[in-house]
Amino acid sequence: MSSHIGTGNWVGKSVTCCIALCFLLMTGCSVHYSFSGVDIAPEVRTVSVKQFRNNASMVNLKLANELTTKLKEKFQSQTKLMVTDQMGDLQFEGQITDYAVTATAVGSDKAAMNRLTITVRVKFVNTLDEKKSYETTFSRYADFSSSKTLEQVQDALVAEIVEALIDDIFTKAVTNW
d(CA 119, CA 164): 11
User: Which fold does the domain 37-174 belong to in CATH?
Assistant: Rossmann fold (3.40.50)
| Residue 146 CB contacts under 8 Å (≥ 6 apart), including other chains | 103, 110, 111, 112, 113, 114
d(CA 29, CA 104): 51
| Residue 38 CB contacts under 8 Å (≥ 6 apart), including other chains | 78, 79, 174, 175
Give per-residue pLDDT as tens, 128-171: 999 999 999 999 999 999 999 999 999 999 999 999 999 999 99
- Note the pTM of the prediction, 2 decimals: 0.77
Give me the residue spans of the domains in the chain. 1-31, 37-174
Asked whether the predicted pLDDT for residue 20 surpasses 60, the reply is: no
Give per-residue pLDDT as tens, 95-109: 999 999 999 877 666
Which ranges of 29-132 does DSSP label H, i.e. alpha helix?
Answer: 63-78
**Residues 57, 96: contact at Cβ < 8 Å?**
no
